[in-house]
Amino acid sequence: MQPHFLEIKSLAKRFPTKDGELTVFEDVSFGLERGEFVCIIGHSGCGKSTILNVLAGLDAPSDGEVLMAGKEVRGPALERGIVFQNYSLFPWLSALNNVIFGVAARWPGWSKTRVREHSLRYLHMVGLKDGAEQRKPSQLSGGMRQRVAIARAFAIEPKLLLLDEPFGALDALTRGTIQDELLKICAETHQTVFMITHDVDEAILLADRILLMTNGPQARIAESVRVSIDRPRERGSIVHDPGY
Ligand code: ADP
Ligand code: MG
């Protein structure tokens, strides 16, 4: 069988505590295909962010391994982009310069014009235009800031994009609009995405496949369901996918 583009094998994460250690999860294995949009859902505290941090290379696994295109993932790298719930934009830079910062680092050989045009293209894809690109994060609404964070992550064209509850802090209306934009940008770029959410509707709307993480002291990925709709997606149903 062909290996998956992203391969998570027997992954475990334990944190030391004052009287022993906390096993957040163990023996977790799954794979992601190139271009696939996978959501992981589960209750608060079950270990979703911990998995994402390991995939991002921000944290080391206690056991097991993460392979991307056959190579072990170690440490953070530009080939993986991340969006967190709290935007994490540079407050002193304009929206455009927040994107340019990453693009220039990713392609050091590019001319200034090329970097700028590439960055603007991604900002436009998420609806930032008419001068909004020049504003600083403090002059943008929460929704706009999260759009900038998404544009910045997509613009570096990472092999894997990791999203940790990116819409958790947004009101329902804004969330809906940005979800639509995310669908559009994914259809255009075929970006491989691993996204955490605790919103089942959101997972059904966005994902090709949903992983369910069970709650408890030793959370595991229990099941995988495939979302049975074609792109461009509409609200659809999920079917059990025992074959995965
Ligand atoms: P989720 O994102 O699903 O809400 P987390 O991955 O943030 O859950 O946390 C899972 C468990 O691991 C929680 O019990 C949390 O307290 C614990 N945990 C997370 N990070 C650390 C850490 N750095 N040190 C100790 N325990 C941690
Ligand atoms: Mg979390």
Give per-residue pLDDT as tens, 184-205.
888 888 899 999 998 888 998 9
Q: Please indicate whether residue 166, judged by its CB atom, sits closer than 6 Å to ligand 1.
A: no
Q: Which atom of ligand 1 is nearest to the CA of 42?
A: 3
Q: End-to-end CA distance of the chain, in Å?
A: 13
The per-residue pLDDT for 223 is 58
Q: What is the pLDDT of residue 220?
A: 56
pLDDT tens, residue by residue, 93-113 = 999 999 999 999 999 999 999
Ligand nearest to C-alpha 41: 1
Question: What's the pLDDT at 109?
Answer: 97
Residues of the chain short of pLDDT 50, as ranges, are 217, 230-244
Distance CA 198, CA 193 (A): 16
Which ligand 1 atom sits closest to the C-alpha of 13? 12
Q: Which pLDDT score is estimated for 87?
A: 63
* Token duo for residue 94: 């304009």
Which two tokens mark 13? 């994460």
Q: So what's the pLDDT on residue 1? A: 62
- Ligand 1, atom 16, lies closest to the CA of 45
**Backbone φ and ψ of 177, nearest 5°:** -65, -45
ipTM exceeds 0.85: yes
Ligand nearest to the CA of 47: 1
Q: Assess contact for 150 and 182: CB atoms under 8 A.
A: yes
Q: How far is CA 65 from CA 10, 19, 26, in A?
A: 7, 27, 12
| Number of Cβ atoms within 10 Å of the Cβ of 131 | 7
